[in-house]
Structure 1
Amino acid sequence: MRGSVIFLFAAMSFAGPAVAQEAWPDLLGKWGGKSRAVIMSPAGHYGSAGGGSEPRFASSDLVVEITKQDQGRYIGTIVSAGHKEEKLMVVSEDRKTLRSADSDGNSFGHIIDSNSFELCYAQVAPSVASCTLFRREK
């Protein structure tokens, strides 16, 4: 009997803990939000609003449309009234932290719940810093 208990303990030690892997988030579809930005000169989604080269506050209605996803990797577009570009995103192993890139900048953010995520964006030239709360469109 004692040998059986030792064998069972040894077998369990080598098997390791059973950990359920959480599914990758489903981000397919359209997500809309209004950015809160600080910009210098005309810039992408902010067009020529305000003009000049002084830093200023700006906002833009944005839509991210995710058209492809695979194991936490996402491909889509980001669109505003006057600008459209490819948007690439990836979620980290924690299934919450987001990184994204487009043609001229990148974002860091997090998934809040199944219907919302936030991205904070940075671009060097022209300078842009913004955060946007995106909500799934129905």
Structure 2
Amino acid sequence: MLASLPLAACSDESRLVVHTATGDHTFTVEVVDTPEGRAKGLMYRQELAEDAGMLFDFKQERPVSFWMQNTFIPLDMVFIGADGVVRNVHVNARPRDPTSIPSDGPVQFVLEINGGRSKEIGLVAGDRIEHERISNEK
């Protein structure tokens, strides 16, 4: 019998703040920074709390792309530079879709949150992300 583990039991969990024109929005994120962790991501998960997400750390800036082949919930993908500035946002990636979703240029981080959540909080390119792994130097 498989047990459903809380986000904290799966890996490194931490606080992330999104600074938008509508205010500051806090998320509890699971951080993945290994090739295996990044490859699995949120695949096979059936739900994600409204204030939860996953932060992918690629350790250096580079072009990246994601797909939703084995992902069962719609997600927003927030592509973030090493400096914490949002480069682009892909809203409502479709579950089980094999189409590649690329960053618009090099990024170091990708934040996945519930589909449509970025629009709810007014998150757009140019906004800033605050997290212990992100430099935030201007």
**Which structure has more strand as a fraction of its residues?**
1
Higher-Rg structure is 1
TM-score in same-fold range (> 0.5): no
> Relative contact order, CA 8 A, sep 6+: which one is greater?
2
